[in-house]
Amino acid sequence: MAMEMTAGYIETAIKRGLQAIVAALIAFTSGCGRPKASITMAGSTAFEPFAVALSKEYKKIRPDVRITVQGGGSSLGIMTAMYGIAQIGMADLVKLPQEAVGLTATVVARDGIAMVVNVANPVTDITEAQVRDIFNGKLTNWRELGWEDHSITVVSREAGSGTRSSFEKLIGGIVLVKSALVQDSNGSIRETVINDKYSISYLSHGLINQEVRSLSLDGCECTAENIIGGKYKLSRPVFLLTKGEPAGIVKDFIDYMLSHESQEIIHKKGLLPAK
């Protein structure tokens, strides 16, 4: 009983804080023009830039609708959608957590998770079983993957990260080895892999650049074609979460994001279309 009360207490505190932020934003912007409707989106930082781009395009068709896009991570996306603070929450998880039950989820895009290593690493392919063993701490030396005799530096995202939970669910059976390094963003994961010749980690497909190299998984390259075609195993959907079935202007905007043109924009900018 006491437990439930405190949980509720914290929830209200968070809710009030978020409401205050949104209210402040609305108050701040309401001076300039008076659109008839407004939509707030919040959540996944991976999808945030896409949402911004799409909302700008949408504004050309419906100038009377104001769309506010905020980041904050998948968890915040779920939370804000649940409390009705944002009409649309964004989350990039392979499986939505229990907290998200009762929300309607629409898949808007897909994102691949690439296994990445340092550019100096000659290994090109890795099997799913090897990935599991490496992150479980059973496979610890690069020699076993056909490289020099040196220990593997395992690098992972922080607990609660959407990318991490998707990665662990997709590979399955991972209890992260205790000596694994932990970094809290895609950027610092990439930085760590660049600086450590013997490291291995995972990274959103759209964020691979020349400074890190992605491994093929069971002989399958992490490319857009393979992810869309379903051949590459490590891929996750990006969800748009709404409280109940989307309706009215929110539905209109979601339909717009699922339209052919919008999916083209998503594809061009690095994420993969939903279908």
Partner 1 sequence: MVERIVKWLLAITAFSALASLLLIALFVFKEGLPFILKTGLSDFLFSSHWDPSHGKFGILAMIVSSLAVTAGALLVGAPLGICGAIFLNEFMPVSVMRIIKPAIELLAGIPSVVFGFIGVTVLAPFIQHNFGGAGLSLLAASLILGIMILPTVISISVDALAAVPNSYRDGALALGATKWQSVHMVTLKAARSGILAGVILGMGRAIGETMAVIMVAGNSVQFPRSPLDSVRTLTSNIALEMNSAIGVHRQALFATGVVLFVVIMILNAIAGVAIRRKIRGK
Q: How far is the CB of 253 from partner 1 (least distance, A)?
A: 25
Instruction: Scan residues 84-123 and list those touching partner 1 (CB under 8 A).
Output: 97, 99
Q: How far is the CB of 245 from partner 1 (least distance, A)?
A: 24
- If the CB atoms of residues 46 and 222 are measured against partner 1, the closer one turns out to be 46
Residue 219 structure tokens:
């002989």
75 near partner 1, rule: CB under 8 A: yes
Q: How far is the CB of 72 from partner 1 (least distance, A)?
A: 8
Taking CA atoms, 207 is separated from 75, 115, 134, in Å, by 21, 12, 22
Residue from 69, 78, 113, 215 in contact with partner 1 (CB under 8 A): 78
Instruction: Scan residues 184-213 and list those touching partner 1 (CB under 8 A).
Output: 184, 188, 191-192, 195-199
d(CA 238, CA 47) in angstroms, rounded, equals 7
- If the CB atoms of residues 171 and 222 are measured against partner 1, the closer one turns out to be 171
Give the total residue count for the chain. Answer: 275
- If the CB atoms of residues 78 and 258 are measured against partner 1, the closer one turns out to be 78
d(CA 155, CA 190) in angstroms, rounded, equals 10
C-alpha angle 80-28-32 in degrees, rounded to nearest 5: 120
Strand partners, 187: none
- The residue count for binding partner 1 (CB under 8 A) is 38
Residue 195 structure tokens:
């600086």
Contact track, partner 1, 155-184, x by CB under 8 A:
---xxxxx--x--x------xx-xxxxxxx
Whose CA is closest to 175, among 194, 156, 191?
156
Binding segment for partner 1 among 53-61, 71-79, 112-120, 122-130 (CB under 8 A)? Answer: 71-79
Whether residue 237 contacts residue 106, with contact meaning beta carbons closer than 8 Å, is answered with: no
Q: How far is the CB of 6 from partner 1 (least distance, A)?
A: 4
How many of the other CB atoms lie within 10 Å of CB of 226? Answer: 17
Where are the alpha helices (H) located in 30-173, listed in sequence order? 48-61, 74-82, 128-136, 162-171
The residue ranges that bind partner 1 (CB under 8 A) are: 2-3, 6-7, 10, 72-75, 78-79, 97, 99, 153, 158-162, 165, 168, 175-176, 178-184, 188, 191-192, 195-199
